[in-house]
Amino acid sequence: MSSIPLPTPAELSITPRDRRFGRHTATPRLWHGGRVEATAIYNALSSTFPKGEAFFVESVRAFRDAAPPKLAEEIKGFTTQEAIHSREHDAFNKRAADAGYDLSKLEAQVEKRLAITRGKPPIVSLAATMALEHFTAILAHQLLANPRHLQGADKETADLWRWHAVEEIEHKGVAYDTWLYATRNWPRGKRWKVKAKVMLYVTRNFVVDRTAGSLELMRQDGVTGLRAWSRLLWYLWIRPGMFRKIAGAWLKFFLPGFHPWNEDDRHLLGAYAAIAAVTPEPKRKVRRAA
Ligand SMILES: [Fe+2]
Ligand SMILES: [Fe+2]
């Protein structure tokens, strides 16, 4: 990586925390404070993770063998964390299904999107992963920085989301650094154009698909039409307003010299210590996914 100076903190360690959530406690159907729209948006997000994060793993792993040793090591940490996230969200989605939700439409939509990207060269999958990883990192930042987002949520489920958010922040530079390395011989203009185009494409799909998915789950709770739209849009854009609050961080992606670690938000990783303090770490050895 000698030719590209990267702001990823040199002493950053990407530590997979092999945790299991919700195995011994029942998850209420409306686990997010009894609110239909809040439960729907998080459930819609979770429905994308098992397949989506498996796609991230294969997209970044495809470039690992060519990567310099430090980056290759970070990729290993990244893929292991994402593999565990997939497992935990798969378990969470099963609990949502047990509570009566049908996630099949949402999962089919994820499959459809992934199939389109998989049909393109590996660098496109890496670019899509890099853009979506910025998205998850800024969502994670907001989730941890503002306690209002999980206010009233079932404790164990809120812990699952905080644990995931902590690791998303920790590995937020990996897909980006892999992309920088893989495109190191590209002219700057071409690199910017591709990354901007891909970001706009994945953002459009993200907003459209998550909105449609949330509305579908709200329909399953008997909330439809204008009432569903207004409650969902209020929740996403006004209060607590996750989408509005990440808009500035999203825009930074397009600035020259952008890098996920230009914003060092490692102070938010302390959220994990709070979770670990009440739920002790399992003793088993962490399985490496890569
Ligand atoms: Fe993840
Ligand atoms: Fe991630």
How far apart are the CA of 171 and the centre of ligand 2, in A?
7
Ligand positioned closest to the Cα atom of 56: 2
* Cα gap 92→47, rounded to integer Å: 9
How far apart are the CA of 115 and the centre of ligand 2, in A?
19
**Mean model confidence pLDDT for the chain:** 94
How far apart are the CA of 167 and the centre of ligand 1, in A?
7
Ligand positioned closest to the Cα atom of 89: 1
**Whole-number pLDDT of residue 277:** 82
Sequence-distant (6+) residues with CB within 8 A of 6 are: 173, 177, 180, 259, 261
How far apart are the CA of 227 and the centre of ligand 2, in A?
33
* Cα gap 267→264, rounded to integer Å: 8
* Cα gap 178→45, rounded to integer Å: 25
How confident is the model over 248-274, as a mean pLDDT? 94
How far apart are the CA of 136 and the centre of ligand 2, in A?
6
* Cα gap 211→40, rounded to integer Å: 9
Task: Indicate the pTM of the whole model.
Answer: 0.94
290 — pLDDT class (breaks 50, 70, 90): very low
pLDDT at 275 over 90: no
* Cα gap 140→133, rounded to integer Å: 10
How far apart are the CA of 77 and the centre of ligand 2, in A?
11
How confident is the model over 157-181, as a mean pLDDT? 97
How confident is the model over 253-264, as a mean pLDDT? 96
Do the beta carbons of residue 135 and residue 203 sit within 8 Å?
yes
